[in-house]
Amino acid sequence: MTLMLRSSTSFIHLNDTKIIKAPLLEDLHGIISFKQAKPPSCLRIRSSLQEIKMERGSNKMEKLHSLSLNQHTNDLRVPVFVMLPLDTVSLGGSLNKPRTTNASLMALKSAGVEGVMVDAWWGLVEKDGPMKYNWEGYAELVQMVQRHGLKLQVVMSFHQCGGNVGDSCSIPLPPWVLEEISKNPDLVYTDKSGRRNPEYISLGCDSLPVLKGRTPIQVYADYMRSFRDRFRDYFGEVIMEVQVGAGPCGELRYPSYPESNGTWRFPGIGEFQCYDKYMRASLEAAAEAIGKRDWGSSGGPNDSGQYNQFPEDSGFFKRTGTWNSEYGKFFLEWYSGELLQHGDRVISAAKGIFHGTGAKLSAKVAGIHWHYGTRSHAAELTAGYYNTRHRDGYLPIAKMLAKHGVVLNFTCMEMKDGQQPGYANCSPEGLVTQVKMATRDAKAELAGENALERYDIAAYEQILATSRSESGNGLAAFTYLRMNKDLFEPQNWRNLVEFVKRMSEGGRNWRLPKSDCCGSDLRVGFIKEKKIEKVVVV
């Protein structure tokens, strides 16, 4: 069986020739052949864009976000990255499916992609014990990315993989950390029913030596320092960005809407996560400081409903609810303020470690667009974003990140209001516009991601539209979720390649041709198991 993917863009110089043994997709061994001749029975990628050389070890690498803030202009190039699979590095610490990864990187390079993103899982790297780090699988990946002339975004993933949207594998926190949690369950976020969430260490104990003599912030800092020292020679040339995980899914938020075990389902309002003893102690102290001791005695609102309810089902979030009372404002300011301080602590540690390396720092904020059309914005409030009809909850976050020179990475860039169910009161477009304005006002850089796996032109059109800066910031970079077998399906691949081209032109309008009659071909062929695979550039 032979696949040839059609595209309107190629960045392969047809005079370069090299052979690499590699499969393309998992569980299938493949041949990628770049040829001008039209092979039989295939799906093809063609190009009419100018060709550029793919040089191994080229020194002509641009630094990510090297341009000034992408504001008030529509003609700046927006580099596109592609997220690698969550299990790119195996549980054993080695590179998973290296031949597949190698061939896939070659294909992405041919499409004009700037680079790739990978999660550096805490649960993999430090699983053998405190400060016992294994970076070997990531070292193999970094070298492979360098060989293909690509760039790399690395996520410091201090959270568990599994139990959330898009999680395709399970990677828990390090065993020695889980051992400490079993001894002291209050180390993790807890809801009002006493349900513990092992996705991420509670911010309530950020400054307490609860992890075998180290504080969580110290543990994160030691991990990032180890990463910096191991890959010192690759910063600024290959490793262009470090995204600092600050909560579940790597996002600066509380785990208010966990999908594991059916706890939450869209579009539930979620629940506050402030009932571990450390968070309760903080709330009690805040209440006592203003002479309202009883406001801190219960640990949180007693009328805030349950995970899968709607705002009007609860006394706290309904139109005229407690959220807008004196108590509600006190609680929400404390709850969101604790999250903001946590982000500031983690980012400050990262800034001190990566300063001068040539890598940009970023932090991810979740795109919680359901119930955005209500007054209380309940789903955002339970996640820690104090954003309501009367208050901008994203400007303080943008200002905190701007203070450190950190890029705000925001998701749901591909969504349109009209695609959402009416009963959920969604407005992803309104939310994205608000974040664009907040980053502009805070003078922070903005980067984007798509929230769901989308391959259709409508999604790409929406990303192109939001990447421009007519209202608020334009995008400094975009990371596409995610590389998998579906991405390499003929029409999906063709759409991606055209999207990358449009983004390279500054987010100009979509004009995918119905057909083209000239250019180069990307031929993807599959042969039987255990045969030798070749990638030939002719």
Q: Model confidence over 284-327: pLDDT tens digits?
A: 999 999 999 999 999 999 999 999 999 999 999 999 999 999 99
pLDDT of 508: 62
Q: Is the pLDDT of residue 337 over 70?
A: yes
Residues 6+ apart with CB under 8 A from 145: 105, 115, 116, 151, 152, 238
The pLDDT, as a whole number, for residue 472 is 82
**Within a domain: 3:** no
pLDDT at 516: 40
- Contact residues for 137 (Cβ-Cβ < 8 A; gap 6+): 88, 89, 90, 93, 94, 95, 96, 124
390 annotated ligand binder = no
> pLDDT value at position 164?
62
For the stretch 208-235, pLDDT in tens is 999 999 999 999 999 999 999 999 999 9
CATH code of residue 153: 3.20.20.80
Question: Rounded mean pLDDT of 244-268?
Answer: 96
b/e per residue, 283-307, with b = 16+ CB within 10 A? bbebbeeeeeeebbeebbbeebbbb
Print the domain residue range for 84: 80-269+342-508
Instruction: Tell me if 44 sits within 8 A of 522, measured CB to CB.
Output: yes
Dig out the tokens for 12 from the structure.
């392969």
pLDDT of 136:
98
pLDDT, one tens digit per residue, over 382-435 is: 999 999 999 999 999 999 999 999 999 999 999 999 999 999 999 999 999 999
263 has pLDDT over 70: yes
pLDDT of the residue at 26: 38
Read out DSSP for 113-125? --EEEEEEEHHHH
Predicted pLDDT of residue 471: 75
The answer to whether residue 325 sits within a structural domain is no
Catalytic residue flag (residue 199): no
Instruction: Examine residue 379 and state whether it is found in any structural domain, yes or no.
Output: yes
Q: What is the DSSP string of 310-326?
A: -GGGSTTTSTTSGGGSH
What count of Cα atoms within 13 Å lies in the side-chain half-sphere of residue 502? 25
- How much is the average pLDDT of 54-77? 41
Annotated binding-site residue? 473: no
364 known ligand binder:
yes
pTM above 0.75, yes or no: yes
pLDDT at 73 over 50: no
Predicted local confidence at residue 506, as pLDDT: 81
Residue 13 annotated in ligand binding: no
Mean local confidence (pLDDT), 146-168: 87
482 assigned to a ligand binding site:
yes
Q: What's the pLDDT score for residue 538?
A: 31
Domain contains 111 = yes
pLDDT at residue 15, rounded to an integer: 37
Structure confidence by residue, pLDDT tens digits, 125-154: 999 999 999 999 999 999 999 999 999 999
Report if residue 404 sits inside a domain. Answer: yes
pLDDT of residue 121: 98
Helix 457-467 to helix 490-504 angle (10° resolution) is 10
With cut-offs at 50, 70 and 90, classify the pLDDT of residue 167. Answer: low
Name the average pLDDT for the chain: 85
Longest CA span, the chain: 80
Average pLDDT of the segment spanning 184-206: 98
Instruction: Calculate mean pLDDT across residues 256-283.
Output: 96
Which pLDDT band holds residue 468 (cuts at 50, 70, 90)? confident
Whether residue 280 is contained in a domain is answered as: no
How far, in Å, CA of 231 to CA of 404, rounded?
Answer: 22
Higher pLDDT, 8 or 441: 441
What is the pLDDT averaged over residues 83-92?
96
Q: Shortest CA distance to 55 belongs to which of 147, 159, 168?
A: 147
pLDDT of residue 205: 98
Report how many domains make up the chain: 1
* Beta-bridge partners for 190: 196
State pLDDT tens for residues 486-505. Answer: 999 999 999 999 999 999 99
**Secondary-structure percent of the chain, ordered helix, strand, coil, rounded to 5:** 35, 15, 50
Choosing from 114, 126, 199, 251, the catalytic residue is 251
> Residue 162: what pLDDT?
80
For residue 200, pLDDT over 80 is answered with yes
Judge whether 167 is annotated as a binding position.
Answer: yes
Residue 469 belongs to a domain: yes
Asked if the structure places residue 450 within a domain, the reply is: yes
Q: Is 251 a catalytic residue?
A: yes
Give the per-residue pLDDT at 518.
37
Least confident of 122-126, 165-169, 315-319: 165-169
Q: Pick the catalytic residue: 241, 338, 429, 449?
A: 449
Residue 470 confidence (pLDDT) = 77
